Amino acid sequence: MISQSIDARGLNCPIPVMKAKKGIKGLQTGQILEILSSDPGSARDFDALCRSTGDKLLSSDNQDDGSYRFVIEKT
């Protein structure tokens, strides 16, 4: 179940990652953040974010509108 959703479509790097960091910080362990982004570098950025924070990237999907959807669990 998604605990928080952030729509960062139309924003360029590093703004989507900054919004995700802020969102994750407000979650409790086990809660889930969904973030939508249109930045092509997002997959690399969110993978790196999760490696640095220790949080878990549960999924990374391309959407029909050309954007990307990431689901991150706070650990």
Domain that holds residue 57: 4-73
pLDDT value, residue 33? 98
Q: Parallel, antiparallel, or unpaired: how do β-strands 32-37 and 56-62 relate?
A: unpaired
Tell me the pTM: 0.94
Domain count, the chain: 1
Looking at the DSSP bridge assignments, the partners of residue 57 are: 72
CA-CA distance, 12 to 69, in Å (whole number)? 15
pLDDT value, residue 5? 98
Q: Which is the catalytic residue, given 11, 13, 32, 71?
A: 13
Question: Which tokens is 22 given?
Answer: 């802020």
Question: Which tokens is 17 given?
Answer: 């990652």
Closest CA to 35 of 64, 54, 58: 58
pLDDT in tens, 19-67: 999 999 999 999 999 999 999 999 899 999 999 999 999 999 999 999 9
Residue type, 45: D
Question: Which tokens is 69 given?
Answer: 């959807």
Catalytic, 50? Answer: no
